[in-house]
Amino acid sequence: MNSRSLAVVLAAGQGTRMRSALPKVMHPVGGLPMIAHVLKAVDAAGIGRTALVIGTGATWPGDVAGKASLHVQDHPRGTAHAVLSAKDAFADDIEAVVVLFGDNPLVAAATIDRVLARVHGGADIAVLAFETETPTGYGRVLLDDNGHVAAIREEKDASADERAVTLCNSGIMAIRAGEPLDALAAIDSDNAKGEFYLTDLVAIGHARGYNIVWEMADFEEVMGVNDRAQLALAEAAFQRRARQKALETATLLAPDTVYFSHDTVIGTDVLIEQNVVFGPGVAVDDGAIIRAFCHIEGAVISPGATVGPFARLRPGTAIGPKARIGNFVEVKNAVLGPEAKVNHLSYVGDANIGASANLGAGTITCNYDGKTKFRTEIGDGAFIGSNSALVAPVAIGDRAYIGTGSVITDDVPADALAIARGRQVNKPDRSPARPAAATDTMEGATHDEADPGAPSDAGVRDTRA
């Protein structure tokens, strides 16, 4: 039935208390703008159409507004005026309208569905309410002797007895199309603020004999965000939910220190240690281990892989099955094959790393020349010695071996040994720490006369695999 419903999402508020150049509803919770959370819940509830009410001069990126039609509220004159700004979306085939707010990022699709179900089930108006022992600032939901909603009184217009009521209005309301929806035109601005309140529709409907019901919600779910302190509370609530969901399948050693994004996917038997941050676009597959102090965004981590501690995975990263990313390793836009290893102190950017390849400590893929990014290709079973620089574009063949400290600028064939570094020179008696000598001239220095072009195994073996 929700397919024949319309969601009107109010997002025209200027949000001056946020003290930000960013529109209030664009501030993120869990890495996603608040308004996008609401629109995502609307889609999940199966609502057929969405109208987004915005302020004059507001711009909305298409990836946020999605399929919603945009409607401008020319002047902020209250919530009823805002809803009527979307009147063009009130099509003849709509059976119900649900009004939502862009600064309620935690509202669930199931809750929206419950409110709409009351209207589809015969009610004229359904109000979403919550209970709180500290109702100051909220509109009060007033019931008649039959337990039906008789009115919603804004606090500035409430009497002392009405202010003592602890059943409060969330702002979310479903309205049956037809006469109840048409009654929006009867709302006036005769109140303390001189605005057209959507909540006045309830008193008008009660006087006309409408069937007005209410549904209960948890306060945390319908909390609004008006300033940065409330934004922090919403973020904390989101993280509590995300941690609880993750704990259904994964082990979190210190849950309160792990931070998730709105789209984080965690598989079964995943171990997440302390102080881990997941940015947007992360999927961690079954049996993976995320060690302490990692920051991960835009990455896919395959089954059995290990990341960290102190690792950073940036967008475009894919870690293969049983691969290992160690401490102080940064990976960006790179694919690591099964059982590949980058164990410590390395940067891997714009690269493909083959299965079972090993990158020693201090390996760097030099992917950027100041204008263009280039890729590095490392074959299966290749061994990159410690402190090597691979200057892209370059390809290292299967099972190739790069000597420690090499700067590789040319492709290395499969099974080849590549050494690209200056030869060692020893100068006797030139150490600044040696005892002072009576005479000390450069003529006394000797050089290694070995052919600098001759290959040598000395120092090639990387002992820090």
User: Rounded distance, CA 420 to CA 302, Å?
Assistant: 34
Q: Read off the tokens for 451.
A: 């052919």
User: Rounded distance, CA 463 to CA 465, Å?
Assistant: 6
User: Rounded distance, CA 278 to CA 420, Å?
Assistant: 39
State whether the Cα torsion 258-263-264-265 is positive or negative: positive
Integer CA distances (angstroms), 420 to 64, 378, 385, 410, 423, in order: 50, 17, 11, 10, 9
Residue-wise DSSP of 192-215: TT----TTHHHHHHHHTT--EEEE
Residue 447 is a catalytic residue = no
Q: Read off the tokens for 333.
A: 């836009």
Can you tell me whether residue 346 is helix, strand or coil?
Answer: strand
> What phi and psi values does residue 230 have, to the nearest 5 degrees?
-70, -30
User: Rounded distance, CA 423 to CA 323, Å?
Assistant: 34
User: Rounded distance, CA 130 to CA 140, Å?
Assistant: 10
Helices 109-120 and 34-44 cross at an angle (nearest 10°) of: 50
Of 29, 160, 54, 184, nearest to 104 (Cα)?
29
User: Rounded distance, CA 134 to CA 276, Å?
Assistant: 35
Catalytic residue, chosen from 71, 75, 344, 447, is 344
User: Rounded distance, CA 361 to CA 464, Å?
Assistant: 7
The H or E element containing residue 53 is strand 49-55
Burial environment of residue 147 by CB neighbours within 10 A (0 to 12, 13 to 18, 19 or more) = exposed
Q: What residues are annotated to the active site?
A: 344
